[in-house]
Amino acid sequence: MKTTLHIGTEKYEVDLSDPIDLSLPLQASSENPNAWYVDAPEIEPVELEGWVGKVSEGASVNFNTIHFNPHAHGTHTECVGHITQDFHSVNQALTRFFFLAEVISVTPEKKGQDEVITLESVKSLLHGASPEALVIRTLPNPVSKKSRQYSHSNWPYMEETLAQFLCELGVKHLLIDLPSVDKEKDEGMLLAHKAFWNHPEATRHDATITEFIYVPNAVEDSSYLLNLQIAPFENDATPSKPVLYKLD
């Protein structure tokens, strides 16, 4: 099922029947990816006065309550409200859902005890492109990322100058396969978040960061159509389902 798509002055053929899902499903299991020192998600049937919301226990429906944290438990999209004193909702910040995206694969550089995604490495991979959305796959890229427990792991992070460059380049939507674009233990500085959103100097309220994705190895570095789907939570962050489509 191919459709013609016009983006700027370019025309593309897109096969909407062949989606590439970058999201990590949330599950009540120790296999669920995890960060930020919280327990695994919980999905449990409601119990009311002896009634259990579970068909296998006699109910007519399954009726579960889900307890989770969007930042800690898998693929999520966040707005600048993640770092501001005033409330800002990602559901209000993201009002378009299709974007031209560039997928790049980056090997973080070793700097002391850290691994850092540098400005130089990303600039060299963009080849002068200025996409509206940027998807970063870090290397190596084992499937074990999909269930990794990241707490106290000092994961790779993005240097502040790179985040500032992406802001100035006009990248509105940044997607990455890590729990955060920032260093795990940075004393609350959040340098990359602040630089990407240009906060507080001239805050970009319509820009988003999506973390905890997984880009399969079969996906080539190239340009794609991105459908950034979110759950409509009035919160700084929400579970999300970014989907890529190949462009011809």
| Percentage of residues in the chain having pLDDT higher than 70 | 99
Nearest-angstrom CA–CA distance, 3 and 114: 44
Question: Could you give all domains of the chain from N- to C-terminal order, each with its CATH number?
Answer: 2-25+72-246 (3.50.30.50)
Cβ atoms < 10 Å from Cβ of 186: 12
pLDDT reported for residue 26: 96
Query: Which pLDDT tens digit goes with each residue over 192-238?
Result: 999 999 999 999 999 999 999 999 999 999 999 999 999 999 999 99
**Average pLDDT value for residue range 172-194:** 98
Q: Confidence band (pLDDT; 50, 70, 90) for 85?
A: very high
Render 138-185 in DSSP notation, one character per residue: ESS--GGGGG-B-TTS---EE-HHHHHHHHHHT--EEEESSS-SS-SS
Query: Which pLDDT tens digit goes with each residue over 28-64?
Result: 999 999 999 999 999 999 999 999 999 999 999 999 9
Tokens 């340098």 correspond to 191
Does the pLDDT value for residue 127 go beyond 80? yes
* 148 φ/ψ angles, rounded to the nearest 5 degrees: -70, 140
| Percentage of residues in the chain having pLDDT higher than 90 | 94
**Which residue type, as a one-letter code, is found at position 84?**
T
Cβ atoms < 10 Å from Cβ of 35: 23
pLDDT reported for residue 184: 98
- Selection from 38, 217, 66 nearest residue 145 by Cα: 217
pLDDT reported for residue 9: 76
Per this entry, what is the length of the chain? 248
pLDDT reported for residue 5: 82
Query: Which pLDDT tens digit goes with each residue over 68-82?
Result: 999 999 999 999 999
Q: Is 200 exposed, middle or buried (0-12, 13-18, 19+ CB in 10 A)?
A: exposed
pLDDT averaged over every residue in the chain: 96
pLDDT reported for residue 90: 98
Q: Confidence band (pLDDT; 50, 70, 90) for 3?
A: confident
What pTM was computed for the model? 0.96
Per the model's pLDDT, the better-predicted residue between 71 and 1 turns out to be: 71
pLDDT reported for residue 248: 85
**Average pLDDT value for residue range 75-95:** 98
pLDDT reported for residue 186: 97
